[in-house]
Amino acid sequence: MDSGLDIDQATITGFSTGDEKAFQQVFDLLFRPLCFFAGKFTGQKEEAEDAVSQAFHKLWIHRAGFNALPAIRTFLYTTVKNHCLDLLKHKAVVDHAHHNIRISQLNADSFAESRMMQAQLLQVIFAEIEHLPAHYRDVLMLSFVEELSVAEIAARINKSENHVRADRSRGLALLRASLKNKKLLEAALLLWTLYEQGYFHR
Protein backbone atom coordinates (compact mmCIF):
# COMPACT_ATOMS: atom_id res chain seq x y z
CA MET A 1 0.00 0.00 0.00
CA ASP A 2 1.53 3.30 -1.02
CA SER A 3 -0.17 6.42 -2.37
CA GLY A 4 1.19 8.76 0.26
CA LEU A 5 1.08 6.16 3.05
CA ASP A 6 4.77 6.31 3.92
CA ILE A 7 7.30 8.85 5.13
CA ASP A 8 10.94 8.87 4.06
CA GLN A 9 13.71 7.98 6.49
CA ALA A 10 15.03 11.54 6.58
CA THR A 11 11.69 12.70 7.97
CA ILE A 12 11.69 9.93 10.59
CA THR A 13 15.20 10.92 11.61
CA GLY A 14 14.11 14.53 11.86
CA PHE A 15 11.14 13.52 13.97
CA SER A 16 13.28 11.55 16.41
CA THR A 17 15.61 14.53 16.86
CA GLY A 18 12.78 16.99 17.56
CA ASP A 19 11.93 18.47 14.15
CA GLU A 20 8.37 19.80 14.56
CA LYS A 21 7.73 19.83 10.80
CA ALA A 22 8.60 16.14 10.66
CA PHE A 23 6.25 15.51 13.58
CA GLN A 24 3.49 17.31 11.68
CA GLN A 25 4.01 14.96 8.72
CA VAL A 26 3.64 11.94 10.99
CA PHE A 27 0.57 13.51 12.56
CA ASP A 28 -1.05 14.28 9.20
CA LEU A 29 -0.42 10.74 7.98
CA LEU A 30 -1.86 8.89 10.97
CA PHE A 31 -4.34 11.14 12.78
CA ARG A 32 -7.48 10.32 10.77
CA PRO A 33 -7.09 6.52 10.67
CA LEU A 34 -6.27 6.53 14.38
CA CYS A 35 -9.44 8.50 15.09
CA PHE A 36 -11.41 5.94 13.09
CA PHE A 37 -9.74 3.16 15.10
CA ALA A 38 -10.46 4.85 18.44
CA GLY A 39 -14.02 5.61 17.41
CA LYS A 40 -14.72 1.89 17.03
CA PHE A 41 -14.02 1.54 20.75
CA THR A 42 -15.55 4.70 22.17
CA GLY A 43 -18.42 5.37 19.78
CA GLN A 44 -17.81 9.07 20.45
CA LYS A 45 -15.90 11.36 18.08
CA GLU A 46 -14.68 13.69 20.84
CA GLU A 47 -13.43 10.85 23.03
CA ALA A 48 -11.72 9.23 20.05
CA GLU A 49 -9.91 12.45 19.09
CA ASP A 50 -8.87 12.99 22.71
CA ALA A 51 -7.39 9.48 22.88
CA VAL A 52 -5.45 10.05 19.66
CA SER A 53 -4.20 13.48 20.76
CA GLN A 54 -2.91 12.03 24.02
CA ALA A 55 -1.17 9.23 22.13
CA PHE A 56 0.63 11.74 19.90
CA HIS A 57 1.63 13.72 22.99
CA LYS A 58 3.22 10.61 24.49
CA LEU A 59 4.88 9.82 21.16
CA TRP A 60 6.47 13.26 21.07
CA ILE A 61 7.78 12.86 24.61
CA HIS A 62 9.42 9.54 23.68
CA ARG A 63 10.33 10.50 20.09
CA ALA A 64 14.05 9.81 20.51
CA GLY A 65 13.33 6.10 20.79
CA PHE A 66 11.76 5.80 17.33
CA ASN A 67 13.68 5.40 14.08
CA ALA A 68 11.11 3.69 11.83
CA LEU A 69 7.50 4.34 10.83
CA PRO A 70 6.23 0.81 11.69
CA ALA A 71 7.42 1.28 15.29
CA ILE A 72 5.66 4.64 15.46
CA ARG A 73 2.44 3.10 14.11
CA THR A 74 2.57 0.24 16.60
CA PHE A 75 3.15 2.60 19.52
CA LEU A 76 0.28 4.88 18.53
CA TYR A 77 -2.26 2.12 17.91
CA THR A 78 -1.32 0.35 21.15
CA THR A 79 -1.47 3.58 23.16
CA VAL A 80 -4.83 4.55 21.68
CA LYS A 81 -6.27 1.09 22.32
CA ASN A 82 -5.13 1.08 25.94
CA HIS A 83 -6.49 4.59 26.51
CA CYS A 84 -9.87 3.61 25.09
CA LEU A 85 -10.07 0.45 27.16
CA ASP A 86 -9.21 2.39 30.31
CA LEU A 87 -11.95 4.84 29.44
CA LEU A 88 -14.47 2.07 28.93
CA LYS A 89 -13.71 0.42 32.26
CA HIS A 90 -16.03 3.04 33.73
CA LYS A 91 -18.89 1.93 31.49
CA ALA A 92 -20.70 -1.39 31.51
CA VAL A 93 -21.23 -1.38 27.76
CA VAL A 94 -20.59 0.95 24.85
CA ASP A 95 -23.25 1.36 22.19
CA HIS A 96 -21.75 1.58 18.69
CA ALA A 97 -23.73 1.27 15.46
CA HIS A 98 -26.77 -0.03 17.40
CA HIS A 99 -24.89 -2.96 18.93
CA ASN A 100 -23.86 -3.44 22.56
CA ILE A 101 -20.22 -4.44 22.76
CA ARG A 102 -19.07 -5.64 26.18
CA ILE A 103 -15.71 -4.70 27.65
CA SER A 104 -14.61 -8.36 27.57
CA GLN A 105 -15.09 -8.34 23.80
CA LEU A 106 -13.24 -5.05 23.39
CA ASN A 107 -10.22 -6.60 25.13
CA ALA A 108 -10.00 -9.36 22.56
CA ASP A 109 -6.94 -9.04 20.33
CA SER A 110 -8.99 -10.05 17.30
CA PHE A 111 -11.31 -7.07 17.78
CA ALA A 112 -8.41 -4.61 18.00
CA GLU A 113 -6.61 -6.17 15.05
CA SER A 114 -9.68 -6.05 12.82
CA ARG A 115 -10.29 -2.40 13.69
CA MET A 116 -6.62 -1.58 13.09
CA MET A 117 -6.86 -3.19 9.65
CA GLN A 118 -9.96 -1.15 8.88
CA ALA A 119 -8.18 2.02 10.01
CA GLN A 120 -5.20 1.30 7.77
CA LEU A 121 -7.49 0.60 4.82
CA LEU A 122 -9.28 3.85 5.53
CA GLN A 123 -5.89 5.54 5.34
CA VAL A 124 -5.57 4.17 1.80
CA ILE A 125 -9.00 5.59 0.98
CA PHE A 126 -8.06 9.01 2.35
CA ALA A 127 -4.89 9.04 0.26
CA GLU A 128 -6.87 8.24 -2.90
CA ILE A 129 -9.47 10.90 -2.13
CA GLU A 130 -6.68 13.49 -2.13
CA HIS A 131 -6.06 12.72 -5.82
CA LEU A 132 -9.65 13.37 -6.92
CA PRO A 133 -10.74 16.64 -8.58
CA ALA A 134 -11.20 19.32 -5.93
CA HIS A 135 -15.01 19.48 -5.94
CA TYR A 136 -15.33 15.70 -5.45
CA ARG A 137 -12.48 15.60 -2.94
CA ASP A 138 -13.95 18.34 -0.77
CA VAL A 139 -17.39 16.72 -0.58
CA LEU A 140 -16.00 13.28 0.28
CA MET A 141 -13.63 14.64 2.91
CA LEU A 142 -16.47 16.53 4.57
CA SER A 143 -18.44 13.26 4.59
CA PHE A 144 -15.58 11.07 5.82
CA VAL A 145 -13.63 13.31 8.16
CA GLU A 146 -16.19 15.71 9.57
CA GLU A 147 -19.07 13.25 9.13
CA LEU A 148 -21.38 15.98 7.85
CA SER A 149 -24.80 15.28 6.35
CA VAL A 150 -25.74 16.34 2.82
CA ALA A 151 -27.58 19.37 4.21
CA GLU A 152 -24.58 20.39 6.32
CA ILE A 153 -22.17 20.01 3.40
CA ALA A 154 -24.47 22.02 1.15
CA ALA A 155 -24.52 24.84 3.69
CA ARG A 156 -20.74 24.68 4.14
CA ILE A 157 -19.88 24.93 0.43
CA ASN A 158 -22.89 27.04 -0.56
CA LYS A 159 -24.31 24.51 -3.04
CA SER A 160 -27.70 22.82 -3.34
CA GLU A 161 -28.27 19.46 -1.67
CA ASN A 162 -28.85 17.87 -5.08
CA HIS A 163 -25.51 19.26 -6.25
CA VAL A 164 -23.79 17.75 -3.20
CA ARG A 165 -25.45 14.37 -3.74
CA ALA A 166 -24.37 14.35 -7.39
CA ASP A 167 -20.77 15.25 -6.54
CA ARG A 168 -20.66 12.69 -3.75
CA SER A 169 -22.05 9.94 -5.97
CA ARG A 170 -19.65 10.72 -8.80
CA GLY A 171 -16.73 11.08 -6.38
CA LEU A 172 -17.47 7.68 -4.84
CA ALA A 173 -17.62 6.09 -8.30
CA LEU A 174 -14.24 7.58 -9.23
CA LEU A 175 -12.78 6.54 -5.89
CA ARG A 176 -13.93 2.93 -6.25
CA ALA A 177 -12.56 2.78 -9.79
CA SER A 178 -9.21 4.19 -8.66
CA LEU A 179 -8.91 1.69 -5.82
CA LYS A 180 -9.74 -1.23 -8.11
CA ASN A 181 -7.33 -0.05 -10.81
CA LYS A 182 -4.53 0.03 -8.24
CA LYS A 183 -5.55 -3.43 -7.00
CA LEU A 184 -6.46 -2.04 -3.59
CA LEU A 185 -9.45 -4.36 -3.42
CA GLU A 186 -9.61 -4.54 0.38
CA ALA A 187 -9.92 -0.78 0.59
CA ALA A 188 -12.55 -0.79 -2.14
CA LEU A 189 -14.48 -3.43 -0.19
CA LEU A 190 -14.35 -1.32 2.98
CA LEU A 191 -15.60 1.68 1.03
CA TRP A 192 -18.52 -0.36 -0.32
CA THR A 193 -19.28 -1.72 3.17
CA LEU A 194 -19.41 1.79 4.61
CA TYR A 195 -21.75 2.80 1.81
CA GLU A 196 -24.04 -0.19 2.36
CA GLN A 197 -24.17 0.55 6.10
CA GLY A 198 -25.55 3.98 5.34
CA TYR A 199 -22.38 5.98 5.99
CA PHE A 200 -23.10 8.18 2.95
CA HIS A 201 -26.89 8.15 3.11
CA ARG A 202 -27.36 11.00 5.56
Over the stretch 166-195, which tens digit does the pLDDT of each residue have?
Answer: 999 998 888 888 877 766 656 565 665 565
Angle formed by the axes of helices 161-181 and 150-157, nearest 10°: 100
How far is the C-alpha of 47 from the C-alpha of 62, rounded, in Å? 23
- Whether residue 144 has pLDDT greater than 60: yes
Q: At 160, is the secondary structure helix, strand, or coil?
A: coil
Backbone angles phi and psi of 101, in degrees to 5: -115, 115
pLDDT band at 124; cut points 50, 70, 90: confident
* Contact yes or no for 189/124 (Cβ under 8 A): no
Q: At 95, is the secondary structure helix, strand, or coil?
A: strand
91-123 residue pLDDT tens: 544 444 444 555 555 555 566 666 666 677 777
7-54 residue pLDDT tens: 889 999 999 999 999 999 999 888 988 888 888 778 888 999 999 999
Q: Is 4 left (phi over 0), alpha (psi -120 to 50) or beta?
A: left
Q: In Å, how far from its chain's centre is CA 67?
A: 23
* pLDDT score of 167: 93
* pLDDT score of 112: 67
Q: Does the pTM exceed 0.75?
A: no
Average pLDDT on 126-137 reads 84
CB-based burial, 117-135: b 16+ in 10 Å, e otherwise: ebbbbbbbbbbbbeebeee
- Whether residue 68 has pLDDT greater than 50: yes
* pLDDT score of 94: 44
Question: Minimal CA–CA distance to 17: which of 77, 71, 60, 75?
Answer: 60
How far is the C-alpha of 162 from the C-alpha of 187, rounded, in Å? 27
How far is the C-alpha of 130 from the C-alpha of 133, rounded, in Å? 8
Which of the two residues, 163 and 82, has the higher pLDDT score? 163
Question: 37-46, 113-122, 129-138, 155-164 — which is least confidently predicted?
Answer: 113-122
- Whether residue 1 has pLDDT greater than 50: no
Domains, the chain, ordered by start:
1-108 (1.10.1740.10), 131-202 (1.10.10.10)
Question: Minimal CA–CA distance to 127: which of 112, 113, 144?
Answer: 144
- Whether residue 6 has pLDDT greater than 70: no
